[in-house]
């Protein structure tokens, strides 16, 4: 383990308080009115004069050489403006941005070979989308098939024609290495018992209802692109798109639109904006490219962790957990967008809420003929949660002790925070016992245990699962590169900025530098600014910047946004408050130390009549310069910008004894589902579901509960139904939503009973923690445990997801066969 010396001092300015007026209130959302009346502008709602429309011809092969492409018939179709092949695209743009080091080159349109079904082979811009799609059907492509690589474990030994990127060597292993933290071998030698399991986590995805789109235009006179797009990290690294387009970064403006959901999948979209932009430049008109659903499912940034685990948990006979070893093979698909950042992420909480002394992770990231991985709620840590929770359940069963009792025994205690886990990451605060107690109360465990006993007598199978999971929030950029063997992108900043202006009439304007992607950025910003300036949220207007105006801002991924925008607003509001106090002190001839901001006015303490409202002060600040002190700092107006850096992060140790603090704002959850399994059909019904989350100080309990319930139903999808399934030929057999089964209301529990514990973070403003991903990070291990518990009389073990009725029936049939 790393020494505690690398925990920095807290930079918190605003401690949590009981007397907050707006923070902690379930305020109705600021975002909603325009969305409810159909006036929200999503990407596909953008229409520009003379705008053309794009469609993409996609590869039907998993792996093939492109021998020839004949676009002549397509180009001759009336209404077609441009047909672009990979060779054409390579003349006008570079490979797509990547965080992988060494890079895995990804062309926007496949050039000499295709590497997965759905990869772009040609793009068409036409007068309308119908003509563009007609033209795609007229393009003739001759392919020479290559061996498809589909199984991640077989990818470990690929050579020759089966290698996707021969320029990186004769292998499909993108990265393979072992990281070891603490005395792993000693701990295993001291163990009385080692639990060994193989787990399979399926490839699923965020699958927001809105696909990815972009409307691009090119101003030939200025040599400048404008791209309206539903992306997220544009103010963090949007310039990378400019590099791909071979223009200087200031020759590109990215303008965010509303995003109709993301769940991580729109964290940094690269293919769609680049494609729209190269076509716009080629045809000299604005071009809209909006993915259709098959474009999205076969070639998006949506496919998430796809892992095989060989896991070992070492423990003492008395139940003390000692050490964790995992061998992971992760199927990244054909390219590496974020490097192996998902495994940096997973190191942040791989020991769960437990005191485990040492950890070894042996990772092989392999390339296969599937769509590249992107981000989805959890970004790799949801898998680590599943693995540690399943191991703890298995350990309890092996020891013959209660699964809950074994958890309690090994929980990190409230007095041990801030706590460093073996990988070096810090857990800032927590109270896992309290979360468990609260969940047990809501779950009514005694009642359901009795029901379970009765049901078993009647030949029915009711099961109860308990998972106690970490819910890390606020990533630091180091997670993206800490695994890399070669130096590449090694950023250490991941800030978020905000601009605040009080106009001459006293109204407040906030510019956010990260987009709306289905979360509640405007509501959070309004609540925090209202709290800071003692104003009414109704007097605050929220807008979003483009990259021309933008401040360095990482965006909402990784459950960051609420913590980060709160920090940024505290920073900006304190500047505004200070200026108002100085002006008020001057105008009221008072000492600034005798003034206080309350109820939208600056008061002289103890003199009720001596006060100036924010509107009066704003008016003076804007128009009465000659009434102010002659001070160069006291510029006209009332505005501030503030870029809030990550509240607490440190570098990885140079000798890799630990990875530093990189994901420290640690939430926690306990999920207790009660299910009934119909052993004849393999169907799972939820009889009850309780979930308690500790996300520190809550800014808006209503929206947090929305995330928890929505995330939990995402987790139900992952556990029971969802899978991007590829057959042996590398065909995606679940490209349509008739086959990729997203939970409808019929699959969702009627009532997910949500509770809260609030353990404030000592490092963030007001003690807020992020809560955007927790539902999906807690649901799957709890549901797996509940199903296993239900089928305990049959001896079924759950180590692989998803569990649709067909697979659950197969497990039951096998178990019944064994019993017979």
Q: Provide the binding-site residues for another protein, judged by CB under 8 A.
A: 28-29, 31-42, 44-45, 47, 128-130, 206-210, 258-263, 292-293, 517-520, 702-703, 705-707, 709-714, 736-738, 742, 744-746, 748-752, 775
CB of 714 to another protein, least distance (A): 7
**Burial classification of residue 804, based on how many CB atoms lie within 10 Å of its CB (0-12 exposed, 13-18 middle, 19 or more buried):** middle
Strand partners, 419: 427
Nearer to another protein, 40 or 637 (CB): 40
Q: What is the dihedral of CA 245, 372, 269, 735, to 10 degrees?
A: 120
CB of 745 to another protein, least distance (A): 4
- Distance of alpha carbon 124 from alpha carbon 513, whole angstroms: 33
Nearer to another protein, 649 or 703 (CB): 703
CB of 754 to another protein, least distance (A): 9
Nearer to another protein, 263 or 448 (CB): 263
The dihedrals phi and psi of 460, each to the nearest 5 degrees, come to -110, 155
Nearer to another protein, 452 or 523 (CB): 523
Nearer to another protein, 32 or 196 (CB): 32
Contact 579, 621 (CB under 8 A): yes
Nearer to another protein, 501 or 671 (CB): 671
Strand partners, 305: none
CB of 127 to another protein, least distance (A): 12
Nearer to another protein, 717 or 767 (CB): 717
CB of 34 to another protein, least distance (A): 6
CB of 51 to another protein, least distance (A): 10
Which sign, positive or negative, has the C-alpha torsion 808, 809, 810, 811?
positive
Instruction: Give the other-Cβ count within 10 Å of 81's Cβ.
Output: 21
Nearest of 314, 322, 352, 358 to residue 182 by alpha carbon: 358
Nearer to another protein, 106 or 296 (CB): 296
CB of 304 to another protein, least distance (A): 14
CB of 37 to another protein, least distance (A): 5
CB of 747 to another protein, least distance (A): 9
CB of 738 to another protein, least distance (A): 6
Contact 242, 97 (CB under 8 A): no
472: part of which helix (H) or strand (E)? strand 467-473
Q: What is the dihedral of CA 453, 458, 460, 462, to 10 degrees?
A: -20
Strand partners, 328: 309, 363
Nearer to another protein, 50 or 591 (CB): 50
Q: What is the dihedral of CA 212, 213, 219, 223, to 10 degrees?
A: 20
- Distance of alpha carbon 499 from alpha carbon 553, whole angstroms: 12
Nearer to another protein, 241 or 713 (CB): 713
- Distance of alpha carbon 313 from alpha carbon 311, whole angstroms: 7
- Tokens 């209503």: give the residue: 702
Can you say whether residue 709 is alpha, beta or left, with left for phi > 0 and alpha for psi between -120 and 50 degrees?
Answer: alpha
- Distance of alpha carbon 323 from alpha carbon 140, whole angstroms: 57
Nearer to another protein, 207 or 423 (CB): 207
Give residues with Cβ within 8 angstroms of 8, minimum separation 6: 648, 650, 661
CB of 672 to another protein, least distance (A): 16
- Greatest extent of the chain over all pairs of C-alpha atoms, in Å: 95
- Distance of alpha carbon 349 from alpha carbon 346, whole angstroms: 6
CB of 22 to another protein, least distance (A): 17
Nearer to another protein, 2 or 700 (CB): 700
Strands lying side by side in the sheet with 321-331? 173-181, 358-366, 321-331, 307-315, 193-201
Nearer to another protein, 383 or 704 (CB): 704
- Distance of alpha carbon 638 from alpha carbon 618, whole angstroms: 6
CB of 775 to another protein, least distance (A): 8
**Burial classification of residue 577, based on how many CB atoms lie within 10 Å of its CB (0-12 exposed, 13-18 middle, 19 or more buried):** middle
- Distance of alpha carbon 49 from alpha carbon 446, whole angstroms: 65
Contact 329, 383 (CB under 8 A): no
């Amino acid at each position: 383990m790393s020494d505690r010396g690398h925990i920095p001092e807290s930079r918190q300015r605003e401690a949590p308080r009981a007397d907050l007026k707006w923070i902690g209130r379930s305020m109705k959302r600021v975002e909603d009115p325009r969305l409810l009346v159909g006036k929200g502008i999503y990407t596909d709602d953008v229409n520009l004069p003379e705008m053309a429309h794009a469609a993409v011809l996609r590869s039907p092969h998993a792996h093939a050489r492109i021998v020839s492409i004949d676009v002549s018939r397509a180009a001759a179709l009336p209404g077609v403006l441009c047909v672009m092949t990979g060779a054409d695209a390579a003349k006008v743009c570079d490979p797509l941005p990547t965080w992988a080091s060494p890079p895995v080159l990804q062309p926007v349109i496949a050039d000499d070979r295709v590497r997965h079904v759905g990869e772009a082979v040609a793009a068409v811009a036409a007068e309308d989308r119908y003509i563009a799609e007609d033209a795609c059907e007229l393009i003739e492509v001759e392919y020479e098939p290559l061996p498809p690589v589909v199984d991640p474990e077989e990818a470990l030994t690929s050579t020759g024609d089966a290698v996707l990127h021969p320029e990186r060597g004769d292998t499909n292993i993108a990265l393979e290495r072992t990281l070891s933290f603490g005395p792993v071998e000693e701990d295993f030698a001291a163990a009385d018992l080692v639990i060994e399991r193989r787990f399979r986590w399926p490839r699923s995805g965020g699958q927001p209802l809105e696909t990815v789109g972009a409307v691009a235009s090119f101003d030939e006179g200025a040599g400048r692109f404008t791209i309206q797009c539903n992306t997220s990290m544009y103010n963090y690294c949007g310039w990378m798109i400019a590099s791909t387009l071979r223009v200087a970064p200031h020759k590109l403006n990215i303008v965010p639109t509303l995003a109709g959901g993301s769940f991580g999948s729109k964290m940094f979209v690269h293919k769609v904006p680049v494609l729209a932009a190269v076509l716009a430049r080629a045809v000299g008109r604005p071009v809209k490219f909006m993915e259709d659903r098959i474009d999205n499912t076969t070639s998006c940034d949506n496919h998430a962790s796809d892992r095989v685990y060989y896991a070992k948990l070492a423990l003492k006979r008395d139940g003390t957990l000692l050490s964790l070893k995992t061998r992971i093979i992760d199927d990244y698909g054909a390219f590496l967008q974020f490097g192996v950042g998902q495994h940096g992420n997973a190191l942040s909480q791989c020991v769960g809420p437990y005191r485990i002394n040492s950890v070894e992770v042996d990772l092989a990231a392999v390339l296969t003929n599937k769509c590249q991985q992107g981000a989805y709620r959890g970004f790799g840590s949801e898998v680590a949660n599943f693995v540690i929770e399943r191991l703890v359940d298995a350990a309890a069963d092996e020891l013959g002790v209660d699964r809950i009792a074994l958890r309690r025994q090994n929980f990190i205690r409230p007095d041990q925070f801030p706590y460093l886990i073996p990988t070096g990451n810090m857990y800032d605060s927590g109270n896992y016992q309290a979360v468990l107690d609260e969940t047990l109360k809501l779950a009514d465990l005694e009642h359901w245990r009795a029901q379970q006993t009765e049901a078993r007598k009647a030949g029915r199978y009711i099961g109860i699962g308990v998972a106690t999971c970490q819910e890390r929030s606020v990533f630091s950029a180091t997670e993206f590169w800490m695994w890399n063997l070669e130096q590449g992108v090694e950023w250490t900043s991941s800030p978020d900025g905000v601009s605040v202006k009080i106009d001459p009439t006293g109204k407040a304007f906030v510019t956010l530098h990260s987009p709306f992607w289905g979360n509640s950025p405007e509501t959070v910003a309004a609540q925090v600014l209202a709290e800071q300036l003692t104003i009414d949220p109704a007097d605050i207007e929220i807008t979003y910047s483009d990259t021309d105006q933008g401040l360095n801002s990482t965006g909402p991924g990784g459950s960051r946004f609420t913590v980060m925008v709160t920090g940024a607003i505290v920073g900006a509001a304190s500047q505004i408050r200070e200026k108002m106090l100085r002006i008020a002190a001057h105008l009221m001839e008072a000492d600034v130390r005798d003034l206080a901001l309350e109820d939208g006015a600056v008061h002289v303490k103890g003199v009720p009549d001596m006060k100036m409202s924010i509107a009066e002060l704003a008016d003076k600040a804007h128009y009465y310069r000659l009434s102010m002190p002659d001070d160069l700092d006291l510029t006209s107006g009332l505005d501030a910008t503030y870029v809030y850096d990550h509240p607490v992060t440190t570098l990885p140790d140079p000798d890799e004894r630990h990875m530093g603090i990189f994901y420290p704002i640690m939430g926690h959850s306990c999920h207790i589902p009660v299910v009934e399994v119909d052993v004849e059909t393999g169907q799972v019904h939820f009889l009850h579901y309780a979930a308690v989350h500790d996300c520190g100080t809550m800014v808006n309990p209503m929206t947090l509960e929305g995330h928890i319930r929505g995330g939990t139903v995402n987790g139900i999808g992952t556990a029971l139904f969802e899978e991007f399934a590829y057959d042996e030929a590398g065909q995606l057999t679940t490209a349509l939503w008739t086959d990729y089964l997203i939970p409808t209301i019929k699959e969702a529990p009627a009532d997910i009973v949500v509770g809260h514990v609030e353990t404030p973070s000592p490092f963030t403003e007001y003690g807020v923690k992020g809560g955007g991903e927790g539902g999906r990070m807690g649901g799957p291990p709890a549901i797996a445990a509940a199903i296993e518990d239900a089928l305990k009389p049959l001896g079924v073990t759950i180590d692989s997801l998803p569990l649709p009725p067909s697979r659950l029936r197969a497990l039951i049939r096998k178990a019944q066969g064994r019993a017979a």
